[in-house]
Amino acid sequence: MAKPTRTSSNAIAMHAVLGGYTIIALFPIYMVLANSFKNRAEIFRNPMVPPTPDSFTTIGFSTVWQRSAFETFFGNSLIVTLVSLFLVLLTGAMAAWALSEYKFRGNILLSVYLALGIMIPIRLGTVSILRLVVDLNLIDTLTALVLVYTAQGLPLAIFILSEFMRQIPKELKEAARVDGVTEYWIFFRIVLPLTRPAIATVAVFTMIPIWNDLWFPLILTSSESTKTITLGVQTFIGQYVTDWNAVLASLTLAIVPIVALYLIFSRQLIRGLTSGAVK
């Protein structure tokens, strides 16, 4: 019998590490999903056990729909996330195209400046952002959240997309220019389709922090009509009593869009990540 090679041993070790990391990453999601369908007593008695016919209940979901404006919270999160994502991808792709295609004075300096936006957390500027929002009379509006999240997502989007756009063959773009095609046509018809894997990668990395964020909705919004889903969950968390069925049900419903996004863009996301690794 042939002895296992060093390569196969490394592969087994790598798969073991990745499998362990996957279990660690999915365990919190499993806990939320499993306990959202269990009664309160069973949640505290056996939190790691899946719901049984005796402990199964949907009272948490009923409470969410009856005692809160969950559809409003969900809609606000959806609007803020989609609008911010659209602005980040559009303006980020256009800025990345300008930085990667056109050479001008200050090109490198501007690229470094945008890269600093990845290194410095935007939350450090919370006080200045709050003052600016108040001065613009945008406090307690979804517009304020959209502007903040757009600014938050642009540095990473420009950094990733510009690197991908530099890999597009110059001959392809020059051939289009020889045929008299405008720069806008080249950008929207040639460049964007070729960078679709990178756009999908940026979309996932941008959407998840926006959808899960609690910091800026807590600071910039206050009324029921502008709360996002993460802030709306706090409705069921009290100082003395917490409705854990409703909290877990709300979190379960909040997970659905993230899972749907991954299922839609998973192939493009993997292509974008692997291409970036090779480059």
Rounded average pLDDT per 10-residue block, the chain, 279 residues: 63 88 88 88 86 87 84 91 94 89 79 80 89 92 94 90 86 84 85 86 88 91 87 76 83 83 69 52
Which H or E run contains 253? helix 244-278
pLDDT, residue 177, reads 84
Q: What angle do CA 214, 220, 225 make, to 5 degrees?
A: 85
pLDDT, residue 275, reads 56
Q: What angle do CA 62, 64, 66 make, to 5 degrees?
A: 65
H helix runs in 102-243, sequence order: 107-119, 126-135, 142-165, 170-178, 183-186, 192-194, 196-212, 215-220, 229-232
CATH superfamily of 68-278: MetI-like (1.10.3720.10)
Q: Is the pTM of this model over 0.85?
A: no
Residue 43 to residues 125, 210, 239, 248, 255, Cα–Cα distance (Å): 39, 29, 20, 10, 19
Q: How many CB atoms lie within 10 A of CB 150?
A: 21
Which H or E run contains 26? helix 6-35
pLDDT, residue 276, reads 47
The C-alpha atoms of residue 132 and residue 91 are separated, in whole angstroms, by 22
Name the residue among 190, 193, 188, 199 with its Cα closest to residue 162. Answer: 199
The C-alpha atoms of residue 76 and residue 141 are separated, in whole angstroms, by 10
Question: Would you kindly state where each structural domain of the chain is located, as residue ranges?
Answer: 68-278
